[in-house]
Structure 1
Amino acid sequence: MAGIKGLISAIVQFLTDQLQDGDITADSRESLEVAIQCLESAYNVQASDAPANFNLYQAYKNTVDNAAPNLSPEASAETKAEAERLKNEGNALMKQDKHHEALANYTKAIQLDGRNAVYYCNRAAVHSKLGNHALAIKDCHTALSIDPSYSKAYGRLGLAYSSLEKHTEAKESYEKALAMEPDNESYRNNLHLAEDKLASLRFVREHLPNLHGVDLSTLLSNPALMNMARQMLSDPVMQNMVSNIMSGNVEEGARMEVLIEAGQQLAQQIQNTNPELVESLRRQMGDNPDDPEPPQQN
């Protein structure tokens, strides 16, 4: 039982660490908290009971990374040549934006030579173009199981995760890609973008958890609002403002004024560019000026 308790406490530790991650929704956070409480109660353990210097996630990653890939039999030289021809043709089709045709070519190449990581990575690029990000992730992982040092596969994996708003996974992927290609500016820029998005999520969670009873996680699920917020956060003045708040350079008494100013700027931008969204938000918050006055309570 001691071994089982050690495993459960390691799971509790992992779930507790996830609560500190900015890349998590309010609903997921609540579910994790319930799961932690259930495990602690059922097994009478706490996160602090986990074995010292043991990281459950890293242990899992090591197992997966070191697992032998389930590869198809080695292709003949003639078959490899045909697969390479199909891949090159697929590359040409990609340049012509003929994505579905390119996808068919890469798939045929994989069927002929399933041990070539490039074919999976190229097909992942097509999947991303077509919006099939989950399939892109699967192909990137297959490519990396064949060639763990394939930096481009990590880069495309980061892109797919970013597209699914999984910024923690995207950050990890770009870090690995950059470690293999330290001079690659694209990987470095994408890594910074993932880090910025995680920082923004943490800032919202820690400093703006609720506004007059309105759950901001619900508001921020609005694509139009999130797009405007991202555009606003890309402004150097706003970035400096947020950076000062998060770093503690703004005095406690002045932080609310800064937050109010930031909110006013965002509200003005939304009002100017998308008044329909403003009306939608007002209805969501019960602040529609066209609604009748609420009845007086005795």
Structure 2
Amino acid sequence: MNSDNRIIRKYFGLLTAVILIAGVLLSGCTETDRLKDEAKAAFDSGRYAEAVSLYNQAIQLSGSNSELYYLKGKALFELVMYKDAIDAFTIAIRLKQDYPEAWYMKGRASYMMADYDEAVRSFYKAIELDEGNTEYWYYRGLALSGRGQYDLAISHFDKIIQMDPGMEKAWSSRGYAYVMEKNYTEALASFEQALKINPDNAENWINKASVLRVLGRADEADIAISQANLLYKKQGEVIARKIPKTPIAVIP
């Protein structure tokens, strides 16, 4: 065999190896994508345990993939498995430090476990990476309220209102923080603004009534309570209409 033939055979051997490796990698990628798509479908349908299982399979195939750990964490969060969710978000962050969504969800899970210090830190990092996201500011405000720092919480809600004056829950939470500060005038103004945005929120009518009673405005408080009761009754009727009226078979 001359040298040219040896070179050609060596070249084709290397080419075949490269093609085989590429095929293996490509098939692995395709399988990972398939599992990811199935997991998303399961998540969207509320089958969170199935989604976790599928994400675990995808992670085994892909190795270090920050998005898969993040998505797995979201499914665990929905399963109320907050500690496991935090572990998944932590790995996602370790693989990708500038991942605001993972920091945010880690904060959410920490908040649900009443670990307000960790929640505040996580939300701070999320805000640092995406300063214009009102949800990050809102939940950091809640976490600050959770550890009793109502003045700082109010400053967060004020920041949100500057960015989005129509964010009802920011006004409601601002009102709650002012109640805890015993600033009932500002609390009332916050709940009233929330009700201007959404007059169908019965809880805010109750919040308003509670503050009015503290301020000695009992007649106005009674009106607010009546409005809340009307809304609860209306909502109950709507729910009742949605319940299927399936005849019950009488067993002799």
Q: TM-score range by the shorter chain?
A: 0.5 to 0.7
2:150 and 2:177 in contact (8 A); partners too: no
Alignment partner of 1:135 is 2:73:
no
Q: Alignment partner for residue 174 of structure 1, among 123, 141, 147? A: 123
Letter in 2 for 1:151: P
2:120 and 2:143 in contact (8 A); partners too: yes
Gaps of 5+ in 2: 1-23, 152-171, 184-209, 215-252
Structure 1 residues 121-158: Cα deviation after superposition (integer angstroms, max 9, x where no partner): 00100111111111001111111111111111101100
Letter in 2 for 1:199: G
Alignment of 1:136-151 (within 5 A): 136-151=85-100
Which of structures 1 and 2 has the bigger CA Rg? 2
Alignment partner of 1:188 is 2:137:
yes
Alignment partner of 1:94 is 2:32:
no
In 1, the alpha carbon distance for the partners of 2:73 and 2:85 equals: 4
Structure 1 residues 36-91: Cα deviation after superposition (integer angstroms, max 9, x where no partner): xxxxxxxxxxxxxxxxxxxxxxxxxxxxxxxxxxxxxxx93321221122112211
Alignment partner of 1:242 is 2:171:
no
Q: Secondary structure at the match of 1:199?
A: coil
The number of aligned residues is 150
Letter in 2 for 1:141: T
Q: Which residue of 2 aligns with 1:160?
A: 109
Q: Which residue of 2 aligns with 1:106?
A: 55
Q: 1:201 to 1:186 in 2, by over 3 A?
A: closer
Q: Secondary structure at the match of 1:76?
A: helix
Alpha-carbon distance, 1:200 to partner: 5.8
Alignment partner of 1:124 is 2:62:
no
% identity of equivalent residues: 24
Q: Which has the higher helix share?
A: 2
Alignment of 1:217-228 (within 5 A): none
Structure 1 residues 252-295: Cα deviation after superposition (integer angstroms, max 9, x where no partner): xxxxxxxxx99x97xxxxxxxxxxxxxxxxxxxxxxxxxxxxxx
Alpha-carbon distance, 1:241 to partner: 4.4
Letter in 2 for 1:145: R
In 2, the alpha carbon distance for the partners of 1:124 and 1:235 equals: 27
Q: Could you say which structure has the greater relative contact order, defined with CA pairs below 8 angstroms and 6 or more residues apart? A: 1
Q: Which runs of 4+ in 1 moved over 4 A?
A: 234-238
Q: Which residue of 1 aligns with 2:25?
A: 76
Q: 1:131 to 1:241 in 2, by over 3 A?
A: closer
Say what the alpha-carbon RMSD is for the aligned residues.
3.3
Letter in 1 for 2:50: E
TM-score (norm 2): 0.52
Q: Secondary structure at the match of 1:115?
A: coil
In 2, the alpha carbon distance for the partners of 1:84 and 1:193 equals: 36
2:107 and 2:118 in contact (8 A); partners too: yes
Structure 1 residues 197-218: Cα deviation after superposition (integer angstroms, max 9, x where no partner): 112699xxxxxxxxxxxxxxxx
Alpha-carbon distance, 1:182 to partner: 1.2
In 2, the alpha carbon distance for the partners of 1:157 and 1:163 equals: 10
In 2, the alpha carbon distance for the partners of 1:141 and 1:195 equals: 21
Gaps of 5+ in 1: 1-74, 203-233, 246-260, 266-298
Structure 1 residues 181-201: Cα deviation after superposition (integer angstroms, max 9, x where no partner): 111121111111111111269
